[in-house]
């Protein structure tokens, strides 16, 4: 029910001494509501709920590699918070909107925040869903629920990948004032100082710019925000990164991957080539976070990859260097 400056007493207390552990890519995947969701038991008419959600596997988050066994739904109903070993918070922020249950004013409808675990170890995914949620401002001011949205946060056991998945919404060019609209990750959040690490999106929600800062005031008052809510089918995926400034793959740091897109006219074959003077361990994951291929490429080695039986769509290609650096790029299979 309150906006960002008052949702917590707020601060981030850690200036980055190393590299930020995530880099974002934008994908397009059909949005699918949870098939067998588990209720969080939140009362009808909820506003600003605070509920612990269990994580059935060890999920590593943040710079310090904190292992989470649960995550707290908090903020204004749209944040997921994990406590780090030094007492600060790591915050997942799918969308910076103050959400509320439409059941507060609707007799025969309600909004749900729920979760589901899919897959088998070591490829499980915790999926948290905000289903048909309304906006506090509209519900409290007008007692109407014309503005609604659906979104999910996915936590992957394999690779500790984080995804925000956006479904149908009725916001469009809403006349509701949205002075703070973004999506991202905040790390090492404490309650004493307004500084820290903010990795957030701005501009076109379909092709956002991603920025990292440790200056809260410059970020908040700079008003570098999203132009709107991400459209249906948009996915923001956060994977391991070595250089947060990269918004597109740096060809020289990864592996040579061609043709890309693969399949179709390529005859179902794609070539992987290691241009480095050291080996690369190459893992390719599908949209569910499952490893579909794992290959070790020696120095200057070239190897064919048969994708003829792969489902069309985007795949995440992870190249692990000898020094521990990880590079991500996308492979499109037609």
Encode pLDDT of 14-29 as tens digits.
333 345 788 888 888 8
Which residue is listed with tokens 């404490």?
190
Check residue 10 and give its pLDDT. 32
Q: Please tell me whether residue 276 adopts helix, strand or coil conformation.
A: coil
Q: Please tell me whether residue 275 adopts helix, strand or coil conformation.
A: coil
Taking alpha carbons only, the member of 144, 140, 164 closest to residue 152 is: 164
Check residue 6 and give its pLDDT. 37
**CA quadruple 317, 332, 206, 234: dihedral sign:** negative
CATH code, 256-333: 2.60.40.3080
Evaluate whether 142 touches 103 at the Cβ level (below 8 Å). no
Question: What is the chain's alpha carbon radius of gyration, rounded to the nearest angstrom?
Answer: 20
Domain with CATH 2.60.40.3080 in the chain: 256-333
Evaluate whether 259 touches 319 at the Cβ level (below 8 Å). no
The half-sphere exposure of 213 on its side-chain side, counting CA atoms within 13 A, is 15
Check residue 87 and give its pLDDT. 78
Name the β-bridge partners of 200.
Answer: 184, 211
Joined together, the tokens standing for residue 275 give 């241009």
Check residue 292 and give its pLDDT. 85
* Spatial CB neighbours of 97, under 8 Å, sequence gap ≥ 6: 76, 78, 135, 149, 178, 181, 229
Q: Please tell me whether residue 265 adopts helix, strand or coil conformation.
A: helix
Q: Please tell me whether residue 266 adopts helix, strand or coil conformation.
A: helix
Joined together, the tokens standing for residue 276 give 């480095």
Which portions of the chain are predicted below pLDDT 70? 1-19, 63, 173-177, 191-196, 241-253, 264-266, 287-289, 323-325
Check residue 7 and give its pLDDT. 38
Check residue 242 and give its pLDDT. 40
Check residue 12 and give its pLDDT. 30
* Spatial CB neighbours of 179, under 8 Å, sequence gap ≥ 6: 3, 223
Taking alpha carbons only, the member of 163, 164, 162, 106 closest to residue 133 is: 106
* Spatial CB neighbours of 70, under 8 Å, sequence gap ≥ 6: 52, 53, 54, 55
DSSP H/E element including 6:
helix 4-7
Sheet with strand 302-306: strands edge to edge? 256-258, 269-273, 302-306
pTM above 0.85, yes or no: no
Kindly list the distances between the CA atom of residue 16 and the CA atoms of 58, 133, 215, 217, in Å, as whole numbers in the listed order: 24, 35, 11, 17
């Amino acid at each position: 029910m309150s906006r960002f400056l008052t949702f917590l007493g707020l601060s981030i207390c850690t200036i980055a001494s190393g590299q930020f552990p995530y880099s974002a890519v934008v994908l397009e995947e059909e949005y699918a509501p949870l098939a067998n969701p588990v209720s969080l038991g939140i009362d009808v008419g909820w506003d600003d709920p605070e509920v612990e959600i269990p994580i059935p596997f060890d999920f590593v988050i943040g710079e310090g590699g904190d292992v989470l066994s649960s995550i707290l739904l908090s903020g204004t109903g749209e944040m997921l918070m994990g406590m780090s070993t030094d007492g600060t918070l790591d915050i997942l922020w799918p969308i910076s909107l103050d959400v509320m249950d439409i059941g507060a004013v609707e007799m025969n409808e309600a909004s749900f925040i729920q979760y589901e675990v899919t897959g088998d170890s070591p490829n499980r995914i915790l999926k948290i869903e905000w289903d048909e949620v309304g906006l506090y401002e509209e519900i409290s001011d007008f007692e109407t629920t014309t503005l609604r949205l659906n979104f999910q946060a996915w936590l992957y056991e394999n690779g500790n990948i984080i995804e925000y998945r956006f479904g149908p919404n009725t916001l469009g060019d809403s006349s509701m004032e949205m002075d703070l609209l973004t999506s991202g990750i905040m790390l090492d959040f404490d309650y004493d100082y307004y500084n820290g690490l903010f990795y957030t999106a701005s501009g076109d929600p379909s092709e956002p710019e991603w920025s990292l800062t440790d200056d809260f005031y410059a970020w908040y008052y700079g008003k570098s925000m999203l132009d709107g809510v991400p459209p249906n089918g948009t996915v923001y995926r956060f994977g391991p990164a070595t250089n947060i400034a990269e918004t597109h793959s740096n060809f020289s740091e990864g592996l040579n991957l061609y043709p890309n897109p693969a399949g179709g006219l390529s005859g179902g074959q794609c070539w992987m080539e290691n241009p480095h003077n050291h080996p690369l361990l190459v893992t390719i994951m599908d949209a569910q976070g499952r490893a579909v291929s794992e290959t070790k490429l020696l120095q200057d080695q070239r190897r064919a990859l048969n994708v003829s039986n792969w489902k069309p769509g985007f795949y995440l290609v992870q190249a692990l260097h000898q020094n521990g650096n990880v590079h991500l790029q996308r492979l499109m299979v037609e």
